[in-house]
Chains A and B, each alone.
Chain A
Amino acid sequence: MIIPILAAFAAGLLVILSRQVNGRLSMSTTPLISSFWNHFVGFVFLTVVGLVLGGLIPANIADMPWWIYTGGAIGVVFVAAGSWLITRIGAVNSTLLVIAGQMVFGIIFDLLRGAPVTIWAAALGVILILAGMALTQRRR
């Protein structure tokens, strides 16, 4: 059980490390160029790993819905936005606001598509998140 716990925690660390590194690249280039390198380097790496391990491309790829190809396009905008933001509002604010948006939009998205949502916990969670967001804005 210790391995998956460490893996999940390390994944969170890497999300931030990756945003920092992309942000640094964007300072010497642009956020869009930085986002290109992020995707290109990741693609080359995953292609090599996939060739070594084999079975990268599933047999049912032709049957998949067209919109599974849109994830990468959304990712380009998200990564470019992350680089642009972290150099302006810092790591903590980026992390908090992105998580806040992910949670609030996640609940709206689940409600819209009819996925089960436990209302009391979701509502209380959103209230706490909005309060936290208000706090990042408060003048001292």
Chain B
Amino acid sequence: MTSPPAQRPNPLHLLAAFASGGLLTLAIFVNGEAGRLGGAMFSSWLAHGVGTIVAIVFLAVVWRGQRAAAAEATAKIGKAPLWAYIGGLLGAVTVMLTSTSVNSPLALAGTLALGLAGQVVLSLAADFWGLLGLPKRRLDLRDAGAVILIATGSLLIILFGLGAA
């Protein structure tokens, strides 16, 4: 895992990531409405509760394949460390942090813009050092260019594009 894998990602994977961003837009809108009606904590609690049930239903449908795939993965990689189970805890804390900052003078735009900065900084560090058991990726000028273009475009949209001028 020390040698960086092929640098050029599969275009279909990139397209899937782009599409999943669309799912995120929908989820944020729906959860935002739940938060407006019932509070940020309620919204997050509801989303995690419904998500738990939906995940159980999905797993029940495809359980045989999932169990086989999980057994194979564990045999190859080893058991997951205990900290690998705290993703949901981090997600729950994220909601508390964002609801703090959305209700400050930063408002939604400032929260999104600073959150974007946090995301970019940590993902650069994660790829560079191969943090938390995921593969290391070599970063180059092309990555730097993509970061600058996408971050600038997103900031334009967040700060000036959404909402009336």
Listed in ascending order, the chain A residues whose CB lies under 8 Å from chain B are 1, 3-5, 7-25, 27-30, 32-43, 45-47, 49-50, 53, 55-58, 60-61, 64-65, 67-79, 81-82, 84-107, 109-110, 115-118, 121-122, 124-129, 131-133, 135-140
Evaluate contact between B54 and A72: CB separation under 8 angstroms.
yes
**15 A-B contacts, Cβ less than 8 Å apart?**
A4-B101, A4-B104, A12-B120, A14-B118, A25-B87, A58-B39, A65-B33, A76-B51, A85-B20, A92-B139, A97-B18, A100-B153, A101-B25, A132-B149, A132-B150
Q: How far is the CA of A34 from the CA of B84 in the complex (A)?
A: 9
Across the interface, which residues of B come within 8 angstroms of A109, CB to CB? 25-26, 29
A79 to chain B, nearest CB (A): 8
Contact of B131 among A20, A56, A121 (CB under 8 A): A20
A43 to chain B, nearest CB (A): 4
With contacts A42-B44, A87-B134, A90-B9 known, is A71 near B153, CB below 8 A? no
A19 to chain B, nearest CB (A): 8
* Binding site secondary structure of chain B: helix
- Give the contacts of B88-115 with A (CB-CB under 8 A): 88-94, 97-98, 100-101, 104-106, 110-111, 113-115
With contacts A97-B21, A105-B25, A126-B153 known, is A72 near B47, CB below 8 A? yes
Across the interface, which residues of A come within 8 angstroms of B16, CB to CB? 81, 84-85
With contacts A21-B90, A92-B137 known, is A49 near B41, CB below 8 A? yes
Evaluate contact between B42 and A24: CB separation under 8 angstroms.
no
Q: How far is the CA of A17 from the CA of B29 in the complex (A)?
A: 23
Listed in ascending order, the chain B residues whose CB lies under 8 Å from chain A are 7-11, 13-14, 16-31, 33-34, 37-39, 41-56, 58-59, 62, 66, 69-70, 73-74, 77-81, 83-94, 97-98, 100-101, 104-106, 110-111, 113-124, 126-127, 131-135, 137, 139-140, 142-143, 145-165
A3 to chain B, nearest CB (A): 7
Evaluate contact between A86 and B134: CB separation under 8 angstroms.
yes
B81, closest chain A residue (CB)? A24
Evaluate contact between B21 and A7: CB separation under 8 angstroms.
no
Across the interface, which residues of B come within 8 angstroms of A23, CB to CB? 132, 134
Across the interface, which residues of A come within 8 angstroms of B80, CB to CB? 24-25, 27-29
Known: A49-B92, A67-B30, A125-B157. 14 other contacts (CB 8 A): A11-B101, A20-B134, A27-B134, A39-B55, A43-B52, A85-B17, A85-B20, A93-B14, A117-B161, A121-B157, A121-B159, A131-B153, A133-B146, A139-B8
